[in-house]
Amino acid sequence: MTNIDFAKLTELASSRLDIIVLHSQKGGPGKTTLSCNIAHELAERGNKTVLVDLDIAQPTIQHIFQIPDKKIKHTINDILLGDVKANEDVILETKNPNLFLIAAKENVEYGEGLLSLLEGIQQFSFFALHEMTKLLLRMGFRYVVYDCAPGYRMESVNAAAIADARLFVIRPSTFSFEGAKQMLTDIYKKLDIRSLNFFVFNQVPPDLKEDNQKLLNAWKDDLIKLYLPEKIAFLDFLPISFEIMELGINGEYIFPEKTVLYKKLSEIVTEITTKIDEMKEIKEE
Ligand SMILES: Nc1ncnc2c1ncn2[C@@H]1O[C@H](COP(=O)(O)OP(=O)(O)OP(=O)(O)O)[C@@H](O)[C@H]1O
Ligand SMILES: [Mg+2]
């Protein structure tokens, strides 16, 4: 069993859980980096937050938060497969008292093992994610942030389907932009039942040539037009940061408060949470 005082957690609980999902079509634009920082910022603002590693083929989050293997009793894999019912043992503590994690399983066998695992997860993940939402609500969490695998993996799409807000992360490159257009058309436009959609360009080089900046602005406008302006919002151009890369060498991924990235991230968190509040308040009226 974990040592987390769940009774206390529930006492402090709010009765609302907001689901934020980070996704991309291509790999590597910064979903994990941004998920960790968004979840960390939500927790710093006093919200009980849980960050879920939904990238089961390449788990990362337990390393970022330096969780030793022996502390991990159950993982998201067990829950998505239906092997374990969503339960409190899956929740891991971090050094931040408001921030909790759900890890993915390390050392999944490759080859057939991984393929059959993925197949099983495809079947169960929608139901399992609903069960998870119920558990997190019961436990008094205010926010859950899902860090998805890139592309059309079923559990990522299912997480997108249950999200209150989706944040689509794009690199400033033609293939990342083309991929984003494709995914917005294939999936996101079809999932627009109630969720909010946001997108952000990350890893933008400094001092872009004027023409390139113009092109990025045109891509931004194209994506908004593609989706419909009232259904998707552009958040920011986030700079590539050598400081963040250098911190990564030491295993640190949380943006230091003085950095431009932190300032921009903090504004993004405010924007997303405010928009979710507005959406839910309108619904309640
Ligand atoms: N704004 C940034 N400045 C500098 N480095 C960044 C920035 N954003 C992300 N990175 C770095 O880029 C790499 C990829 O980022 P990350 O792992 O967050 O992407 P991802 O979208 O989660 O990738 P995957 O699709 O493989 O899960 C990491 O090494 C990360 O430290
Ligand atoms: Mg990732």
- Is the pLDDT at 223 greater than 50, yes or no? yes
What residue's CA is closest to ligand 1, atom 5?
A: 245
180 near 168, Cβ under 8 Å?
Answer: yes
Longest CA–CA span in the chain (Å) reads: 57
pTM recorded for the entire structure: 0.91
- Pick from 118-122, 194-198, 207-211: least confident: 118-122
Give the DSSP letter of residue 103.
P
CATH H-level, domain 16-284: superfamily: P-loop containing nucleotide triphosphate hydrolases (3.40.50.300)
List Cβ neighbours of 253 (8 Å cut-off, separation of 6 or more): 32, 33, 36, 37, 64, 244, 247
Quick one: pLDDT band at residue 1, thresholds 50, 70, 90? Answer: very low
Taking Cα atoms as reference points, which of 79, 60, 277 lies closest to residue 165? Answer: 277
Q: Relative to the CA of 29, which ligand 1 atom is closest?
A: 21
Q: Kindly report, residue by residue over 139-185, the tens digit of the pLDDT.
A: 999 999 999 999 988 888 888 888 999 999 999 999 999 999 999 88
CA 262 to ligand 1 centroid distance, Å: 15
- State which residues have CB under 5 angstroms from ligand 2, the bound ion: 31-32
- Taking the domains of the chain in order of start, what are their residue ranges? 16-284
Q: Kindly report, residue by residue over 47-91, the tens digit of the pLDDT.
A: 999 999 998 878 889 889 988 888 888 888 888 877 777 788 889
Q: Kindly report, residue by residue over 124-144, the tens digit of the pLDDT.
A: 778 888 888 999 999 999 999
CA 159 to ligand 2 centroid distance, Å: 15
- Is the pLDDT at 249 greater than 60, yes or no? yes
Whole-angstrom Cα distance, residue 21 to residue 19?
7
pLDDT at 121: 62
Phi and psi for 19 in degrees, rounded to 5?
Answer: -110, 120
Query: Which structure tokens are listed for 203?
Result: 């890893």
Query: Which structure tokens are listed for 209?
Result: 């040539």
CA 35 to ligand 2 centroid distance, Å: 9
- Is the pLDDT at 215 greater than 70, yes or no? yes
Q: Relative to the CA of 261, which ligand 1 atom is closest?
A: 1
- The 3-state DSSP class for residue 105 equals coil
User: What is the residue-averaged pLDDT of the chain?
Assistant: 87
Ligand number with the minimum distance to the CA of 172: 1
- Is the pLDDT at 109 greater than 90, yes or no? no
pLDDT at 98: 97
Whole-angstrom Cα distance, residue 41 to residue 114?
33
What does each C-alpha distance from 109 to 57, 81, 113, 115, 180 come to in angstroms?
10, 15, 5, 9, 31
